[in-house]
A and B are shown apart, each in its own frame.
Chain A
Amino acid sequence: MFLIHRGACLISRAKALVLSATVIAGTHAAVIPTGPNYFETVPAGTFMDFSRENIPRGFLARVPMPSSALSACKRAPINPSTLGTTDTVVQRLGDINVRLNARPVSVPIGLIAASLVSVTPLTVTFNQGHNPELWDVRVSLQPNEQQPRGGG
């Protein structure tokens, strides 16, 4: 009788252990729903390279691009009253089910807003270095164009 009771206790403990493990694992799982990632640009680490061939001749320089949010004398952020310093929004295009130490999962993303301005004007020269001109640079999304999907 004692052996039967002891065996039942062991089985109960084993069930409890399995249940606990399930509960613990469950607390480490989460769903990150479809939605936006709100970013602000860090000017010190942001630049565009206009020396590439896809920029028209004359725009040959490397210019730092700041966040409109962090440059007091430049453009305002997208919507300060509701989005704070946000100047860039990347949309998560699907729900993400993450679980601690599980295999990585993939979901498409897309850029849905961007608003940058140059910290200093771009100097463009003509006539073999003569006639320098100062140009301000602004970066936004192409209007009326669907942004391509990205992944990872």
Chain B
Amino acid sequence: MTIEQTSEQGGAYEALLPARLLITFIRRSDNVTRLVPFGLLLGANNVSWSFNADSLLVTDHHFCPSCLAGQSRPSIFAGPQMQWQVQTAQF
């Protein structure tokens, strides 16, 4: 991730996230299972981050990776095979 601080409260970053996923398909009629390895590369731009996250947010060292002014805010990681919208987890 390439990150910058643009205010006292936080800033923005961009990220490239490669992943090796395992997709499990389970047929409802008989629970037959098929496993498909799935590699992908996701990118995110202008993701807002901030310090001093809400105490209800699950953060590490008060760094909120998807927040604006301490409040959780959705961000999108996207690639050709997947769009993944995330926000900072909560207790």
Contact residues of A between 32 and 76, Cβ < 8 Å to B: 32-33, 35-42, 44-49, 52, 54-56, 59, 65, 69
Count contacts between A and B, CB distance < 8 Å. 193
The reply to whether A109 and B60 form a contact with Cβ atoms under 8 Å apart is no
The contact size tier of chain B is 35 or more
By secondary structure, the B interface counts as strand
Question: A59 with B3: in contact, given A37-B60, A49-B81, A69-B89 (CB under 8 Å)?
Answer: no
Return chain B residues, CB-CB under 8 Å to A121: 28
User: Which residue on A lies nearest to B35, using beta carbons?
Assistant: A142
Q: A140 vs B33: C-alpha distance in the bound complex, in angstroms?
A: 14
Q: Could you mark each residue 78-109 of chain A with 1 if its beta carbon is under 8 Å from any beta carbon of chain B, else 0?
A: 00000111111010100010111111111101
Return chain B residues, CB-CB under 8 Å to A142: 20-22, 37
The reply to whether A55 and B36 form a contact with Cβ atoms under 8 Å apart is yes
Q: Could you mark each residue 1-13 of chain B with 1 if its beta carbon is under 8 Å from any beta carbon of chain A, else 0?
A: 1111111100101
Interface residues of B (CB under 8 A from A): 1-8, 11, 13-29, 34, 36-39, 41, 51, 58-61, 63, 65-66, 74, 76, 80-91
